[in-house]
Amino acid sequence: MSADRKFFVGGNWKMNGSKEAINGILQFLNDSKVPANTDVVCAPPMVYLPYVKERLQSGMQVSAQNCYKVASGAFTAETSPAMLKDLGVDWVILGHSERRHVFGETDELIGQKVKHALDEGMKVIACIGEQLQERENGLTEEVVFKQMKAIANNVNDWSKVVIAYEPVWAIGTGKTASPEQAQEVHARLRAWMSENINPAVGQSTRIIYGGSVNAKNCQNLGSQADVDGFLVGGASLKPDFITIINARC
């Protein structure tokens, strides 16, 4: 965390929810106060985006969990950034590990999506992260730098991008990266951005951590120098999310 970078907490609801369950989530979200100097962005399933957007307090924003790389056409079941913008949705998560590893999205496709979403005026939460075997083989840096490069090659305006470092082995497993493990990778990513883009981008871009963040571990993780917030999955469906958005307070 740094005073120069606004704290950012995203809630990735994944493929969870029903109107009834969402009403419960909206209740605790709308009863809470967003702390100063903090962005809170909730990402419900695509089909519920308008429902949530219409009911969510104005202090919080909504995000899609994915989008496609062109504006319209014969791409059955896909959603374009233009459509999201039309609904007033400004954020999109791209490159989530489940998109990469369950749906086979490549660095190349993710780069194209990042480019198109930014060109259409959206803001992007771009996700990267190594798998367990890659970490165990000492390949963490190589993997995240490669993913980062594929994203960076497609970014012109870094003020519209948040990088989410989410080690795949920590997502939905209850195995969180230790604060030191997260800090180490975040610091290396920031250094990579300073060297390969420019120092101002390295200094100003928010790098958030994701992977089994909960109400108990969020304070220690959030106190690390280069951890600027979180992308929260499971805990974003529970009142714990309110503790997490207040992790820095």
The residues annotated as belonging to the active site are 96, 166
Question: Which candidate, 68, 71, 64, 145, places its Cα nearest to that of 110?
Answer: 68
Closest approach of ligand PGA to the CB of residue 222, in Å: 14
Pick the closer one to ligand PGA by CB: 148 or 213: 213
Pick the closer one to ligand PGA by CB: 202 or 230: 230
Closest approach of ligand PGA to the CB of residue 189, in Å: 17
The count of other CB atoms within 10 Å of the CB of residue 72 is 10
Contact set with ligand PGA (CB under 6 A): 12, 166, 171-172, 210-213, 231-235
Closest approach of ligand PGA to the CB of residue 233, in Å: 2
- Distance CA(129)–CA(222), nearest Å, equals 18
- Distance CA(209)–CA(77), nearest Å, equals 30
Residues near 44 by beta carbon (within 8 Å), at least 6 away in sequence = 13, 17, 22, 51, 52, 62
Closest approach of ligand PGA to the CB of residue 174, in Å: 8
Pick the closer one to ligand PGA by CB: 155 or 177: 177
Buried b (16+ CB within 10 A) or exposed e, 7-32: bbbbbbbbebbeeeebeebbeebeeb
Pick the closer one to ligand PGA by CB: 121 or 172: 172
- Distance CA(206)–CA(228), nearest Å, equals 6
